Amino acid sequence: MIRALAPAAVLALATVAAADPPAPSRSEILLPGREGSLQAWLWRPSGAGPFPALVYNHGSERDPIAGTDGEVGPFFAARGFVVLFPVRRGAGKSQGRYWRDRVQALPAGAREQGAVDALVAENDDVAAAVEWLRAQPFVDGARISVAGCSFGGIHTLLAAERPLRLHAAVDFAGGAMSWQESPALRERMLRAVENARVPVFFVQAANDFDTTPSEVLSEAMRRKGLPFRVRIFPPHGTSHAEGHAHFCNHGTADWGPDVLDFLRAGR
């Protein structure tokens, strides 16, 4: 026999349901890339959307785990954003040749420029991720932004100058580990921000390896009269490594409100 719930029990169940909406989902998908399929991780809020979206770009590592280990996906998905973590060519399970293998195959004197050329070439994978998101019915195609940490921050700036119809860009520590050693990279990043088509937010922790990139690049945008924000947060942890990648991927308590406000405001 089925017993009817008392009114108080019904109210209690309704209260629990209101307080605990369905958790965001995470799934592994494949994206079409220039050199073959690309592994990607998709975080999606519950509901039909359309939602604003964020492409988050990993660093230089061959086996990135940003899409599965970190706070970025859960943080933004819980606040109504679709988050896509594309794994660029040659990294993880993505097809194609890994950027460092390309560079190491070059003569020593050509490797600095070769690294920049590899970055520019594989930025097509970021563009592919943006276009895949725009084709999804649960995504608001007018509110797709890009972000990324370290090498992913550089990719964010390269994407910001492309005609991808982006909403905004967040550069977490792009170039922090290579700025001083590579004049070619500095020149290319400066050109990217001077040609940026969207507002850019430069974000770093004070104990990152080098905060000069955020300072110099934001000043270049100011001189050009382009929309930007910059914030150097207090130290995160005690080491340069903690102030770098750990801050990007696990520092939402620090940078989350500011970045969320920026992405919601955009233009």
Q: Alpha-carbon distance 146 to 126, whole Å?
A: 9
Question: What H or E segment, with its residue span, contains residue 52?
Answer: strand 51-57
- Check: CB of residue 171 under 8 Å from CB of residue 208: no
**In a 3-state reduction of DSSP, which class is residue 2?**
coil
For residue 75, count other CB atoms closer than 10 A to its CB. 20
Q: Alpha-carbon distance 208 to 203, whole Å?
A: 10
Q: Does position 45 have pLDDT exceeding 70, yes or no?
A: yes
What are the pLDDT digits (tens) for 200-238? 999 999 999 999 999 999 999 999 999 999 999 999 999
- Does pTM surpass 0.75? yes
What's the mean pLDDT when you consider all of the chain? 89
Q: Which amino acid is at 28?
A: E
> At a CB cut-off of 8 Å and minimum separation 6, what does 19 contact?
none
What are the pLDDT digits (tens) for 244-260? 999 999 999 999 999 99
How many alpha carbons fall within 13 Å on the CB side of residue 216? 17
Please report the pLDDT score of residue 67 as a whole number: 67
The band of 22, judged by pLDDT with boundaries at 50, 70 and 90, is: low
Question: What H or E segment, with its residue span, contains residue 146?
Answer: strand 139-149
Residues 162-200: b if buried by 16+ CB within 10 A, e if exposed: bebebbbbbbbbbbbbbbeebeebbebbbebbeebebbb
Domains along the chain with CATH numbers: 22-265 (3.40.50.1820)
Please report the pLDDT score of residue 13 as a whole number: 34
> At a CB cut-off of 8 Å and minimum separation 6, what does 165 contact?
134, 141, 142, 144
What are the pLDDT digits (tens) for 151-204? 999 999 999 999 999 999 999 999 999 999 999 999 999 999 999 999 999 999
What are the pLDDT digits (tens) for 70-105? 899 999 999 999 999 999 999 999 999 988 899 899
Q: What token pair was written down for 84?
A: 């896509």
Q: Give how far the C-alpha of residue 249 lies from the chain's centroid of Cα atoms, to the nearest Å.
A: 10
